[in-house]
Structure 1
């Protein structure tokens, strides 16, 4: 059984005023909360245990999603306190709930038709990331993909991290708890050849502001 972590603790500042009363992952698109699209897809590929990290308006998550049984899931909540711990701190905070095996991790504030069944059961190194073509708002990309390996610079194609990946617990296990980003750990793993990746050319959207959310809602409603 594979486990998954869904990042849902952000403040959603660029999505205001929508996020003043509703956490970003619970905003509606296509007739359901953003995070539910992920839960349904995870359940469809055999994931039965999901950890959701929370902070901003945290009480709304169990009120809306419950224990996950309606999707055939078991949901646990990893509360980070009133201040989100960033991606690294959030992952580190959730490790005790995720178990010893590699796990899927993804951001609740994206939408994609990527099939999670494509993800490796175990990354070749410490982590495996899904990369997408650079959107207009991030033309410089994040990392370079060359023959399945990710590097900061060098030969290969510059792509943007799609906020979907598979991680071994040891990727963050030895880091001190607290608030920190994953980027320095990605950089360290790349320097030692421990970060693999793949390119995905299908539908992928990052939902950063109300206009992007409205566009996605119209697309989903229009089929």
Structure 2
């Protein structure tokens, strides 16, 4: 099974740090954010990776190479800036993903989730399985409810989508207008009962601002 790392965003909330460096290459303790994700994926047995890029994107393959130094194979899906959005970027990378099922993760999350768990998920008649986490301060109302391993939109208690998921390519089937965000597409299939999920109760941070990047740097320094 292949894994895709989303790395095409402009990182506007992270400016001025991202004016000359794409957000996935910002560093914590001397290592770029995306390298932490690559190492976690390889540790879990994912050695065929696809990375999309757009904003300052040429820096990403120049920095990471073909994956040999991480004991994996990396292929790249180049995108025009702001052309596809998340779901559109996944569709654009289909030719590299190839398999019916694959995992997709954000490059800018910091977590201790074991990606090997996603290899054990059997989708059955479902089209996606998402990892949820407790709501951070910047998303207090959450995104989706979770009941009997199924996501819903009407639960009183909602959790935040962690940016980690297992997908079947049929979730993205059909003629779509670009750019195509992922959220509305997921909600469509959640209503249809086609999206399962689980709650991760370990460490998870969305590194979306310079302040949160500094917090993670401090967290690592204190270990």
Fold conserved (TM > 0.5)? yes
- Say whether the 8 Å CA contact 2:144–2:155 is kept in structure 1: no
How far apart, in 1, do the equivalents of 2:27 and 2:60 lie?
Answer: 14
1:80-109 residue CA offsets vs partner (Å, 9 max, x unmatched) = 113352111111111111012311100001
2:178 paired residue number: 178
How far apart, in 2, do the equivalents of 1:114 and 1:175 lie?
Answer: 34
User: How many matched pairs?
Assistant: 221
**Cα distance 1:222–1:51, how it changes in 2: closer, same or farther (>3 A)?**
same
Q: Which deviates more from structure 2 when the two are superposed, residues 76-85 or residues 26-35?
A: 76-85
Runs of 4+ in 1 over 6 A off after TM superposition: none
Aligned Cα RMSD in Å? 1.3
How far apart, in 1, do the equivalents of 2:133 and 2:83 lie?
Answer: 26
1:45 paired residue number: 44
Tell me, which stretches of 5 or more residues in structure 2 are unaligned?
none
1:165 paired residue number: 165
How far apart, in 1, do the equivalents of 2:9 and 2:83 lie?
Answer: 6
1:85 paired residue number: 84
- Say whether the 8 Å CA contact 2:83–2:178 is kept in structure 1: no
1:208 paired residue number: 208
1:142 paired residue number: 143
Q: How far off is 1:209 after superposition? A: 0.6
Q: What's the TM-score once normalised by structure 2's chain length?
A: 0.95
**Cα distance 1:177–1:89, how it changes in 2: closer, same or farther (>3 A)?**
same
